[in-house]
Amino acid sequence: MTKQTLTLTLKDGTQLTGKAFGAFEETEGEVVFTTGMVGYPESLTDPSFKDQILVLTYPLVGNYGVPIEELDEHKMSKFFESLRIHVKGLIVEDYSEIYSHWNANKSLSDWLKEYGVPGITGIDTRALTQKLRDEGSQLGKIHYSENKPDNEFYDPNEVNLVAKVSVNEAHSYGDGDKHVAIIDTGIKTNILRSFLNRGCKITVFPWNESPFAYEKENDMEFDGYFFANGPGDPEQLDETVEIMKEALSQNKPVFGICLGNQIMGRAVGAKTYKLKYGHRGQNQPCIDLLTGKCYITSQNHGFAVDPKGLPKDWEVWFENANDGSVEGLRHKTKPFSSVQFHPEACPGPTDANHLFDDFIATL
């Protein structure tokens, strides 16, 4: 068995073979693409990419290596969005074996090997991306080139991925005057940093654990509630939806990002649906329908909220300028809001970073 090539086989039978890097292993997942020019360390560690085979559209990958893995005083990663890689595989056009960066201490290939994640280089990612755009995201397998894969494909959207990436028990960080309960459905580290850097105390809860029981047990009250990003189909998260409903019933500020936007939509009666190929990248234009201002945003999601099911006292806040899909929700009179994009960036632009300030100002 040669260690020179691996093959990506899509569910429709398409096969693409290239040179192997990273772990020389077989794997399977949903094949999706992201359009960012940089930011692969942040993307690979984003829990929202759990069990996906990621195609990077920018042709040159690996030339700045991987940052030193350091933890801060909260035992959070300083440079990554979680403590491990979450993608199942990586597809690139041109992997650079030579890297150079002041903060790099290993190659992308060596980093992938540490987590058992295979990579393939030499693939025409432009053609593959065009196929995924035209036909939609597909299930796929990375396998040894001489092997013929079977016709059974693992679909990560049929399982509760959030349960795999959420914390197992509640943890508190910081000591600020304002205390925010965070429901962890696969939260990115920079969201936590965004609250801590603004002087908030935060308590992070598992995806299915009520913060209201915690309030009673500790004879205290949170100032607001936050619902995080995360992977998979929001239809899998009935328990999180029930927590959102209870949070909204408190009439305290509630804010959500990405999956949190979909959970908020479901909690008020709207349905969610799967996008053809999702929004993944750092250049998605979103229009604030209240002001008319357009923001360039970082995104990573495969599902969206159908606005037809929104009650009369709710409205679409942001809209995607490319396809018109919902990018944010808000209550017309109460302090409830959410966005589908990532104002915390990492990677990507920080144009919408002020949304954290706006939420904290309501606490």
For 197-242, the pLDDT digits (tens) are 999 999 999 999 999 999 999 999 999 999 999 999 999 999 999 9
- Active-site position among 81, 319, 327, 344: 344
- Is the per-residue pLDDT at 189 higher than 80? yes
> What pLDDT band is residue 3 in, cutting at 50, 70 and 90?
low
Token pair belonging to 328: 């944010």
The dihedral through the CA atoms of 52, 107, 102, 125 has a sign that is negative
CATH number of 285's domain: 3.40.50.880
Of 114, 137, 158, the one marking the end of a domain is 158
Looking at the fold, whether 170 and 301 belong to one and the same domain comes out as yes
Number of structural domains (the chain) is 2
188 and 55 co-located in one domain: no
Q: Tell me what the mean pLDDT of segment 170-178 comes to.
A: 96
Residues 109 and 251 in one domain: no
Write down the pLDDT at residue 172: 97
168 with 265, same domain: the answer is yes
The answer to whether residues 222 and 138 belong to one domain is: no
Same domain, 122 and 199: no
In the set 42, 319, 342, 346, the catalytic residue is 342
Mean pLDDT, range 324-342, rounded to an integer = 98
Task: Identify the band that residue 1 occupies on the pLDDT scale cut at 50, 70 and 90.
Answer: very low
Name 56's bridge partners: 34
- For the whole model, what pTM was predicted? 0.96
Residues 184, 153 within the same domain: no
Which pLDDT score is estimated for 112?
A: 98
Mean pLDDT rounded to a whole number for the chain: 97
Tokens 């494909």 — which residue? 153
Dist. CA 265–CA 326, nearest whole Å: 10
For residue 194, the model assigns a pLDDT of: 98
What own/partner pairs with CB < 8 Å and gap ≥ 24 does 107-114 have? 107/62, 107/65, 107/66, 108/21, 108/22, 108/40, 108/61, 108/62, 108/65, 108/66, 109/21, 109/22, 109/62, 110/66, 111/22, 111/66, 111/85, 112/21, 112/22, 112/23, 112/85, 113/22, 113/23
- 325 pLDDT above the threshold of 70: yes
Domain range enclosing 354: 162-361
The per-residue DSSP string of 158-224 comes to: GS-SHHHHS-SS-EEE---SEEEEEE-SS--HHHHHHHHTTTEEEEEE-TT--HHHHHHHTT---SE
131 lies in the same domain as 225: no
Helices (H), the chain: 40-44, 108-114, 125-135, 162-165, 189-196, 211-217, 238-249, 259-267, 354-361
What pLDDT is attached to residue 263? 98
Instruction: Calculate what percentage of the chain has a pLDDT beyond 70.
Output: 99
From the candidates 28, 86, 179, 258, which is the catalytic residue?
258
Q: What is the pLDDT of residue 84?
A: 97
Q: Do the Cβ atoms of 363 and 223 come closer than 8 Å?
A: yes
Residues 137 and 168 in one domain: no
What share of the chain in percent tops pLDDT 90? 99
How far is it, in rounded angstroms, from Cα 301 to Cα 146? Answer: 34
pLDDT tens per residue, range 114-153: 999 999 999 999 999 999 999 999 999 999 999 999 999 9
Q: What is the pLDDT of residue 272?
A: 98
Statement to judge: residues 229 and 309 lie in one domain:
yes
- The residue written with tokens 């090997």 in the block is 113
Q: What pLDDT is attached to residue 190?
A: 98
The mean pLDDT of 148-170, rounded to a whole number, is: 96
- Binned at pLDDT 50, 70 and 90, residue 284 comes out as very high
Cα dihedral 265, 268, 273, 277 in deg (nearest 10): 0
Q: Which residue among 107, 124, 158 closes a domain?
A: 158
346 is catalytic: no
Strand partners, 28: 141
Q: Which of 158, 173, 203 is the last residue of a domain?
A: 158
Q: Which two tokens mark 352?
A: 């919408």
Task: With H, G, I as helix, E, B as strand and everything else as coil, classify residue 124.
Answer: coil
Pairing between β-strand 178-183 and β-strand 171-173 as defined by DSSP bridges: unpaired
258 is catalytic: yes
In the chain, the amino acid numbered 198 is R
Residue 350 has pLDDT above 90, yes or no: yes
Does one domain contain both 103 and 137? Answer: yes
Dihedral of CA 171/48/305/286: which sign? positive
Q: Is 169 a catalytic residue?
A: no
- Do 258 and 343 lie in one domain? The reply is yes
